[in-house]
Structure 1
């Protein structure tokens, strides 16, 4: 695998296009296979996603609601599970055209992006979703009986998962800004007060529910990732861009 990743053999323009076509085709086939397998084993997947809503009875409020919801779940899960293969195909295609110095940053940056996205999904499933559901279920439980639409519940889960995965890309965006010389760790650190307010806005906008628990957790995660990104920016500036700090 590593030999393929750092293959420096010269290729003609037509060979590059042919390689790109093959890698896109392989990625599409891999995605279709994974999505199909997800749909074939959708019952345990649905059961796993229902675990945070323990004790809630789900209803199918329209014909085909469960079917179309499971197709949607299979599609998005297929994207997530296929992403490591997509990243590998991208790396194999672009690395021959990069210098050794560029590889030291670009390759780890792409890999870090997918790892952070997966960490975001885990944080959402184990922290944000239980916190949101606990608040929403307990609030007014003495007056109303929670009977939820199957489709609306999974739309809520999917939106929250994707939003959290995007928020976890903050350090990657910061490092890219540093490499492009559009910002620096010093500048980022100097505006932390504004970021504190901005992270609150992110928590309010990206969370599909209006409960304060989920918004606060999302805001804290965004603020923490911002400071982690500053650390990574400093490392890149110090050891890759060779910026000297007085």
Structure 2
């Protein structure tokens, strides 16, 4: 049993403390990012270099700057955020659970960054080029900067979350909540859910949905492989634990 136990009042006080630290760090990093938002905008506009943008209301550009700064602040402060989460859940975990959760937190950061990078480098240029090539005579494109920020934010966030799938499956497998045979058995249902989730997460267009659904299906198959490997390791551990007792 874990000796580090908190009363409900102490638990809530600890939670308030961690949330306060996270909030202060996010506000601080977002404020710093706002000072350098012009550099961030140059990178944001690279995938859409063939487009011209306007803003349709007086506060739209300013609010877009704030949104960009907030997103950048969230990303930069994410290591501290995950560290505060780790400090909060650590006292309630057993020794083996601590190792699993610590690895999961680091893996979660890695997969999220991998997902957003993949979306920025590959998915966004393809999607924007496709829509830019759809032209109608006598109709000039007038794209607001605010709508563009909303579009790429949804794409980046969607891919960042979707790339968490292998880590989530590995975590659930270690805690015996799912297994590789269960995932294989329900493959058809998962494929249906993948397309539903892709339709919800992405903007309302078929291209974005298909570009998200494809990697999701590949990640699902990769997750099955991870679950299978972890399942075999768990069986071997159980066998090794039984050997001393059987010899006695």
Q: Same fold (TM over 0.5)?
A: yes
Q: Residues 200 and 215 of structure 1 are in contact (CA less than 8 Å); yes or no, is this contact kept in structure 2?
A: yes
Please tell me whether Structure 1 or Structure 2 has the larger radius of gyration of its CA atoms: 2
* Residues 1-246 of structure 1: pairs in structure 2 closer than 5 A: 13=7, 20-140=15-135, 144-212=139-207, 214-240=208-234, 242=237
RMSD: 2.6
Aligned to 1:5: none
* Number of equivalent positions: 236
Instruction: Classify the secondary structure of the residue corresponding to 2:100.
Output: helix
Deviation (angstroms), 1:40: 0.9
Distance 1:119 1:243 in 2: 34
Unaligned runs of 5+ in 1: 1-7
CA distance in 2, matches of 1:12, 1:194: 41
Higher mean C-alpha deviation, range 58-67 or range 14-23: 14-23
Q: Which runs of 5+ in 2 are unaligned?
A: 240-248
Q: Distance in 2 between matches of 1:207 and 1:81?
A: 24
Q: Report deviation, 1:204.
A: 2.9
Structure 1-normalised TM-score? Answer: 0.84
Over 3 Å counting, the alpha-carbon distance change for 1:190 and 1:15 in structure 2 is closer
